[in-house]
Amino acid sequence: MAEARIRRGGTARLSSPRGKAGGGRSTKGGRALKRQSWVDRLIELIPVSEATLQRMASWAIVAIVGGVAIAIAIFMGLPGMARQQAADIAARAGFEVEKVEVRGVERMDEQSVYNIALGQVDRSMLSLDLPKVRTEMLKLGWVKDARISRRLPDTLVVDIVERDPVAVWQHDGQLHLIDVQGVVLQSVAANAVPDLPLVVGPNANLQTAGLNKLMENAPALKPMLAGATWVGNRRWDLRFQSGETLSLPEGDKESASALVNFARMDGVNRLLGRGIVKFDMRDPDRFVLRLPQGRVEEKPTDAAATGKLLGAKAPAEGEEG
């Protein structure tokens, strides 16, 4: 029987032996056992100390607060205001675009370059938007490439790579200087046309690269070329400085083959400079010569002999080949 103690002046209370169940907390090895939550178990799996975790949590809170502060500042435009203030201070100190040094210009008008460089709203050397200036430079017809750089305290250096003009394009009664890619460089007055081939017709400017490649097949004829007409958006009529016109067939291979044959025949029989109006090679089976109207041959046999040699047909006066 369990012992009972009677406290004087009070009620009696039975006490159980220590370590027995009956209202007390169970112990093991003298230490109380606590029920662990899943969070505690997860923390025990992380290979860092509890102090380290606390420091990491503190830095995370600081980072979050700092990020929120930066976001609020950006929303209110504070960085932009600071940059603008710094740019204004630099400009007042003399760091502002006052001079423009242009390099590489030989043909184009430099004034357009100055207008772009000095026409920027913000001319502070600190905040000048160089990619924007370059983009505006590349819109100029003559400019193939451009490099923009600063030279402190107040000079903007512009290096220009110009396009090379290769022909004059005639379209809708206007004359334009163009490069090999057909880019319009500038307008040309009728009384100031440079000594370049004339290409005529809609989209003829876009075919200039193809024309140059075509003429490379007959290098002996290239210096004699006065101009070319892009006919029907499909083939070329070549005009030579001696006045003749050569009609070529459609297709890159076909036209190149016809031009090579014409160059060979001209080298053997000197076709150019003999007063023939037109050579027609559109039909691969025929080589047609057109003579001027009213022309009287001093030696009629020459044309006939040439036609016989080349397998050509010489049309009568007024006949179109």
pLDDT digits (tens, 9 = 90+) for 257-304: 999 999 999 999 999 999 999 999 999 899 999 988 765 443 333 444
Secondary structure of 225-263 as H, E, C letters: EEEEEEECCCEEEEEECCCCEEECCCCHHHHHHHHHHHH
- The answer to whether residues 156 and 179 belong to one domain is no
* 119 within a domain of the structure (yes/no): yes
Run of H or E including 144 = strand 143-151
Asked whether the bond before 165 is cis by omega within 30 degrees of 0, the reply is no
Domain that holds residue 135: 95-162
How far from the centroid of its chain's Cα atoms is residue 154's Cα? Answer: 30
Mean pLDDT along residues 249-256: 96
CATH number for the domain that contains residue 222: 3.40.50.11690
- The answer to whether residues 84 and 102 belong to one domain is no
Task: Note the pTM of the prediction, 2 decimals.
Answer: 0.62
- The answer to whether residues 69 and 128 belong to one domain is no
- The answer to whether residues 193 and 274 belong to one domain is yes
How does DSSP classify residue 96? Answer: B
Tokens 């006065």 belong to residue: 226
Contacts of 121 (CB under 8 A, 6+ apart): none
Cross-strand bridge partners of residue 13: 5
Secondary structure of 120-143 as H, E, C letters: CCCCECCCCCHHHHHHHHHCCCCE
Tens digits of residue pLDDT in 25-72: 444 444 445 565 665 666 666 665 667 767 777 767 767 766 665 666
Q: What whole-number distance in Å separates Cα of residue 117 and Cα of residue 113?
A: 6
Cross-strand bridge partners of residue 170: 175, 200
pLDDT value, residue 26: 46
- The answer to whether residues 153 and 113 belong to one domain is yes
Structure tokens at 47: 């290979």
- The answer to whether residues 130 and 233 belong to one domain is no
Q: What whole-number distance in Å separates Cα of residue 129 and Cα of residue 210?
A: 39
